[in-house]
Amino acid sequence: MKPVYYFSDDPPFSKRWADWLNTQGYDPILYNPLQPQAVEVLLLLTPLLIDNKWISIENVWKRHFENISPSVKIIQAGIHEIQSRPNYLHLYAFPDDFSALVADSVSVTTWEPYPIGGEDLGDLLSIYFSGHGTEGIVEWLNKVKSSLESVSYRFNKKEPVGELQTWLIHPEIRYDEESKALLGRWNHFRSYFDALPDKTFIETLEIEILKTDSEPILMADESEFKPRIEAAMAAFEQIIQLLEPIIRLKSD
Q: What is the DSSP string of 26-76?
A: EEEEE--TTSPPP-SEEEEE--EEETTEEEE-HHHHHHHHHHH-TT-EEEE
Binding of other proteins by 177 (CB under 8 A): yes
Binding of other proteins by 245 (CB under 8 A): no
Give residues 219-238 in contact with other proteins (rule: CB under 8 A). Answer: none
Q: Which stretch binds other proteins (CB under 8 A): 73-81, 105-113, 155-163, 225-233?
A: 73-81
Number of residues that bind other proteins (CB under 8 A): 34
- 78 touches 88 (CB < 8 A): yes
Which candidate, 5, 242, 8, places its Cα nearest to that of 125? 242
Q: Which of 131, 144, 232, 243 binds other proteins (CB under 8 A)?
A: 131
Considering the complex, what minimum distance in angstroms separates the CB of residue 171 from other proteins?
Answer: 18
For residue 67, list its beta bridge partners: none
Residue 5 belongs to what H/E stretch?
strand 2-7
Considering the complex, what minimum distance in angstroms separates the CB of residue 222 from other proteins?
Answer: 27
Q: Which stretch binds other proteins (CB under 8 A): 76-84, 142-150, 194-202, 218-226?
A: 76-84
Considering the complex, what minimum distance in angstroms separates the CB of residue 161 from other proteins?
Answer: 27
- 69 touches 82 (CB < 8 A): no
Binding of other proteins by 117 (CB under 8 A): yes
Binding of other proteins by 213 (CB under 8 A): no
Which candidate, 206, 221, 232, 225, places its Cα nearest to that of 140? 232
Considering the complex, what minimum distance in angstroms separates the CB of residue 236 from other proteins?
Answer: 18
Binding of other proteins by 120 (CB under 8 A): yes
Dist CA 193 CA 183 (whole Å) = 15
The 3-state DSSP composition of the chain as helix, strand, coil percent (nearest 5) reads 50, 15, 35
Q: Which of 161, 181, 207, 234 binds other proteins (CB under 8 A)?
A: 181
For residue 77, list its beta bridge partners: 45, 89
Give residues 10-69 in contact with other proteins (rule: CB under 8 A). Answer: 10-11, 14-16, 47, 49, 54
Which candidate, 232, 235, 243, 234, places its Cα nearest to that of 193? 243
**Binding residues for other proteins (CB under 8 A):** 10-11, 14-16, 47, 49, 54, 79-81, 91-92, 117-120, 123-124, 127-128, 131-133, 135, 177, 180-181, 184-185, 188-189, 250, 252
